[in-house]
Amino acid sequence: MNVIASRPAPQYPPHARTYRYDEIDREFLAERIAEFSDQVARRLRGELTEDEFKPLRLMNGLYLQLHAYMLRIAIPYGLLNATQLRQLALIARRWDRGFGHFTTRQNIQFNWTKLEDVPDILRALAEVDMHAIQTSGNCIRNVTTDEYAGATPDEVVDPRVYAEILRQWSTLHPEFTWLPRKFKIAITGSPNDRVAAQVHDIGVLAKRNVAGAMGFEVHAGGGLGRTPLIGRKLRDWVPEDEFLGYMEAVLRVYNALGQRDNIYKARIKILVRDLGDAFVEMVEREYATMPRDPYRLDPAIVAAIAAHFAPPPFAALNDIAPPEDPEFAAWASRSVRPHRQPGYASVTISLKPVGGIPGDASADQMEVVAALAERHSFGEIRVSHVQNLVLPHVRQDELFAVWQGLRAAGLATPNIGLISDIIACPGMDYCALATARSIPVAQRISERFADLDRQLDLGECFVNISGCINACGHHHVGHIGILGVDKRGEEVYQVTLGGSATNDAAVGELVGPAFSYDDIVDAIETIIRTHVAHRALGERFIDTYRRIGLTPFKEALYAAA
Partner 1 sequence: MPLLEDGRIVDDPWVTVADDAPLPEAPTILPLARLQREAAALAGRNGPLGVALPPDVAPEAIAPLLGRLALVELTLPSFRDGRAFTQARALREHHGYTGEIRVGGHVIPDQYLALLRCGASTVVVPEGADPAVWDAARRVIGIAYQHSAAPGHPLSLLRRKLEVA
175 or 555: CB nearest partner 1: 175
290 or 456: CB nearest partner 1: 290
262 or 289: CB nearest partner 1: 289
In angstroms, what is the minimal distance from the CB of 162 to partner 1?
Answer: 12
In angstroms, what is the minimal distance from the CB of 242 to partner 1?
Answer: 14
103 or 138: CB nearest partner 1: 138
One-character DSSP codes across 86-152: HHHHHHHHHHSSSEEEE-TTS-EEEEEE-GGGHHHHHHHHHTTT-B-TTSSSSSB---EE-TTTTT-
In angstroms, what is the minimal distance from the CB of 411 to partner 1?
Answer: 36
- Beta strand pairing call for 344-349 and 360-362: unpaired
In angstroms, what is the minimal distance from the CB of 127 to partner 1?
Answer: 19
255 or 466: CB nearest partner 1: 255
Nearest to 155 by CA among 146, 164, 163: 146
In angstroms, what is the minimal distance from the CB of 31 to partner 1?
Answer: 5
39 or 365: CB nearest partner 1: 39
Distance CA 128, CA 4 (A): 11
171 or 350: CB nearest partner 1: 171
The three-state secondary structure class of 325 is coil
294 or 538: CB nearest partner 1: 294
Distance CA 271, CA 471 (A): 19
The three-state secondary structure class of 208 is strand
Residues 6+ apart with CB under 8 A from 377: 347, 391, 392, 393, 394
Distance CA 159, CA 300 (A): 17
In angstroms, what is the minimal distance from the CB of 206 to partner 1?
Answer: 18
In angstroms, what is the minimal distance from the CB of 248 to partner 1?
Answer: 9
Each residue of 236-249: b (16+ CB within 10 Å) or e?
A: eebebbbbbbbbbb
Q: How many CB atoms lie within 10 A of CB 99?
A: 19
How many residues would you count in the chain? Answer: 561
In angstroms, what is the minimal distance from the CB of 217 to partner 1?
Answer: 23
260 or 340: CB nearest partner 1: 260
Distance CA 299, CA 162 (A): 12
Could you tell me if 439 and 398 are in contact, meaning their C-beta atoms sit under 8 angstroms apart? no
Torsion, CA 104, CA 79, CA 311, CA 408, rounded to 10: -80
The three-state secondary structure class of 453 is helix
In angstroms, what is the minimal distance from the CB of 111 to partner 1?
Answer: 26
In angstroms, what is the minimal distance from the CB of 71 to partner 1?
Answer: 20
263 or 320: CB nearest partner 1: 263
Q: Which residues bind partner 1 (CB under 8 A)?
A: 22, 24-25, 27-28, 31-32, 34-35, 38-39, 42, 47-48, 52, 55-56, 138, 165, 168-169, 171-179, 244, 252, 255-256, 260, 289-291, 294-295, 301, 304-305
24 or 560: CB nearest partner 1: 24
In angstroms, what is the minimal distance from the CB of 289 to partner 1?
Answer: 6
Residues 6+ apart with CB under 8 A from 179: 138, 139, 140, 251, 254, 255, 258
Backbone dihedral angles phi then psi of residue 483, each to the nearest 5 degrees:
-120, 120
55 or 552: CB nearest partner 1: 55
Q: What share of the chain is helix, strand, coil (3-state, %, to 5)?
A: 40, 20, 40
In angstroms, what is the minimal distance from the CB of 165 to partner 1?
Answer: 7
Backbone dihedral angles phi then psi of residue 421, each to the nearest 5 degrees:
-85, 70
Distance CA 505, CA 498 (A): 10
